[in-house]
């Protein structure tokens, strides 16, 4: 179908603080609070129709840039600057373009401008990732279509302009073939600071929500798990053994392992995995492992062969997926997987999914995508991320924002905003434990309410209750 061009009239940036109910340790940081940013845009179609769109995401520290000399506030400001750079670029262009052309017209320039300010490509792409989601939301609302319909019909005008390896591939046919499901399985995150059993707790939050892994299993009913490791083999083996004792009481479970860039080289990572495989207490856990995520530092990922490790368990890139061509380079080093995160950009996820389809058709190998979280919060962030990975056909998704933050209440959202989302997204949220929060039933998330005009949301935040950026 013909792409639908529009002009960008306005872009506004807001934020508000988020308080975690439990500390979340991943890699080199333990998070207890963090700002969430909101983007609000207005567009005008060539037919003169105006519409509003929105998106949201945490300003997560120590993932986009893990430099230990930077404070969390430094990381927050890096991401704020990425948003400012993207806003300036998009507003400086008065041309009527398709949604994808607004993205592609400024893609490399924003990376270059951010790089000149000391910001790496992951940070550079953060701002556009939010703006692109908000613009697509507005486009969907202007034409009264859902996110699913907009992508299936390619109303955004997605092309291979920035991905020459997809030349000749039927991108429109691929997008038309995508089909969402009514639900998706939750993959519960076990962070490095998380208690496994009650014996690991030194104090309780006592808010009626699960505080340990075994409590989370009973509360959410999940059978998919993401386990984070620190790169210290003996400590990790001991912790995985404790986790396995809890998981092994389940009749069936599936796990993924997140290396968080903690292994210095490929041989160290491979040796650790051999140690896991040879530990009797970890046999069921090792047999249940789907893949290993980002074991090596991003700086060496695309220069290091991981075939020895990948020969026994698939390996995917996450932090190293910093540009549109990173996955292609990783494949040449033995990686077969790449993560989807809306904070990296919806178009990157869709184009990488197209690559998986193309490469699997040509080579018969199993290239794949995974759905990973960056503590997506209740509301716009979690809804848009869920809609994206659902359309990609992924059957389970790492979800942790609902566990570490008590829904909208942990975001400081007012009663009216919470009630608006509760009523607008039936089946997705429930009112419990003093907040409107994500509903997880028998390990599944109900996605039926995401089929609506716009990008997976019928409600917006209370804009008057947010803090303007500048």
Q: Does one domain contain both 287 and 435?
A: yes
Give the end of a domain, one of 144, 166, 187: 144
Residue 211 CA: distances (Å) to CA of 30, 47, 207, 375: 16, 53, 9, 16
Residue 96 lies in a domain: yes
Q: Which residue has the tokens 């970890």?
A: 282
Block residue for tokens 């959410």 = 220
**Is 301 among the domain residues?**
yes
Tell whether 383 and 434 lie within a shared domain.
yes
> What digits encode the pLDDT tens for the residues 97-140?
999 999 999 999 999 999 999 999 999 999 999 999 999 999 99
Residues 212 and 72 in one domain: no
Residue 151: what pLDDT?
98
Q: Would you give the DSSP letter of residue 376? A: P
Shared domain for 248 and 128, answered yes or no, is no
Residues 301 and 435 in one domain: yes
166 inside domain: no
What average pLDDT does range 130-152 have in this prediction?
A: 98
Domain-located, residue 169: no
Q: According to the model, what pLDDT value does residue 27 have?
A: 67
- pLDDT number for residue 76: 97
DSSP-derived letter for residue 249 is T
Q: Is the domain of 264 the same as that of 128?
A: no
Give CA angle at 58 (291, 85), nearest 5°: 110
Is residue 163 in a domain? no
Instruction: Answer for the pair 6, 45: CB distance below 8 angstroms, yes or no.
Output: yes
Task: For residue 49, give the CATH number of its domain.
Answer: 3.30.390.10
Note whether residue 157 is domain-resident.
no
Residues 59 and 202 in one domain: no
DSSP readout, 154-197?
TTT---STT-GGGTTS-HHHHHHH----SEEEEEEEE-TT-BSS
From 89, 124, 144, give the residue that closes a domain: 144
| Residues 227, 89 share a domain | no
| Mean pLDDT for the stretch of residues 395-407 | 97
For residue 364, the model assigns a pLDDT of 85
The answer as to whether 456 is a domain residue is yes
pLDDT tens digit sequence for 256-292: 999 999 999 999 999 999 999 999 999 999 999 999 9
Residue 59 lies in a domain: yes
**Strand 254-258 versus strand 289-293 pairing type:** parallel
Reported confidence tier of residue 218, pLDDT bands at 50, 70, 90: very high
- For residue 30, what pLDDT band results from cuts at 50, 70 and 90? confident
CATH label of the domain that carries residue 254: 3.20.20.120
Residues 135 and 211 placed together within one structural domain of the fold: no
Would the pTM of this model clear 0.95, i.e. be above it?
Answer: yes
Average pLDDT over residues 310-339: 97
- Of 123, 144, 165, which closes a domain? 144
What percentage of the chain carries pLDDT values higher than 90? 96
| Residue-range definition of the domain harbouring residue 48 | 6-144
- The dihedral over CA atoms of 256, 258, 264, 270, expressed in degrees to the nearest 10, equals 0
With CA atoms as reference, report the closest residue to 171 among 326, 395, 357. Answer: 357
291 and 362 part of one domain = yes
Alpha helices in 72-229 (DSSP H): 72-91, 99-116, 121-142, 147-152, 171-177, 213-220
44/90 same-domain check: yes
Domain count, the chain: 2
Q: Are residues 113 and 65 in the same domain?
A: yes
Q: Residue 1 has what pLDDT?
A: 63
Which of the four pLDDT bands, split at 50, 70 and 90, describes residue 26? confident
């Amino acid at each position: 179908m013909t792409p639908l061009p529009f002009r960008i009239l306005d872009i506004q940036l807001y934020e508000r603080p988020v308080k975690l109910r439990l500390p979340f340790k991943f890699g080199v940081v333990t998070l207890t609070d963090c700002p969430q940013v909101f983007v609000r845009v207005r567009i005008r179609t060539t037919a003169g129709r105006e519409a509003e769109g929105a998106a949201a995401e945490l300003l997560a520290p120590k993932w986009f840039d893990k430099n230990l000399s930077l404070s969390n506030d430094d990381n927050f400001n890096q991401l704020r600057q990425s948003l400012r750079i993207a806003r300036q670029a998009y507003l400086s262009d008065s041309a009527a373009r398709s949604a994808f052309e607004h993205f592609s017209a400024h893609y490399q320039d924003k990376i270059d401008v951010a790089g000149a300010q000391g910001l790496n490509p992951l940070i550079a792409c953060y701002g556009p990732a939010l703006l692109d989601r908000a613009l697509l939301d507005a486009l969907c609302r202007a034409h009264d279509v859902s996110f699913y319909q907009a992508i299936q019909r390619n109303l955004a005008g997605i092309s291979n302009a920035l991905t020459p390896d997809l030349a000749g591939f039927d991108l429109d046919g691929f997008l038309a073939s995508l089909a969402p499901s009514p639900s998706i399985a939750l993959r519960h995150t076990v962070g490095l600071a998380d208690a496994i059993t009650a014996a690991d707790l030194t104090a309780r939050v006592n808010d009626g929500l699960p505080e340990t892994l075994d409590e989370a299993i009973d509360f959410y009913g999940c059978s998919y798990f993401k386990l984070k490791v620190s790169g210290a083999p003996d400590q990790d083996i001991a912790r995985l053994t404790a986790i396995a004792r809890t998981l092994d009481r389940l009749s069936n479970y599936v796990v993924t392992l997140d290396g968080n860039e903690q292994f210095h080289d490929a041989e160290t990572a491979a040796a650790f995995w051999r140690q896991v495989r040879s530990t009797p207490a970890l046999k069921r856990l090792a047999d249940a492992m789907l893949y290993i995520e980002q074991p090596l530092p991003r700086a060496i990922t695309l220069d290091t062969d991981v075939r020895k490790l990948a020969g026994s368990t698939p390996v995917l890139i996450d932090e190293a997926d910093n540009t549109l061509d990173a996955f292609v380079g990783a494949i040449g080093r033995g990686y077969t997987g790449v993560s989807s995160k809306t904070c990296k950009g919806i178009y990157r996820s869709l184009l990488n999914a197209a690559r998986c389809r193309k490469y699997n058709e040509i080579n018969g190998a199993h290239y794949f995508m995974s759905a990973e979280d960056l503590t997506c919060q209740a509301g716009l962030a979690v809804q848009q991320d869920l809609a994206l990975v659902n359309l990609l056909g992924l059957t389970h998704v790492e979800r942790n924002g609902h566990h570490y933050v008590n829904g909208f209440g942990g975001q400081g959202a007012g009663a009216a905003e919470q009630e608006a989302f509760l009523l607008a997204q039936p089946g997705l949220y429930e009112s419990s434990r003093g907040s409107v929060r994500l509903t997880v039933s028998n390990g599944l998330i109900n996605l039926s309410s995401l089929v609506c005009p716009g990008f997976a949301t019928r409600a917006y935040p209370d804009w008057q209750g947010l803090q303007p950026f500048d």
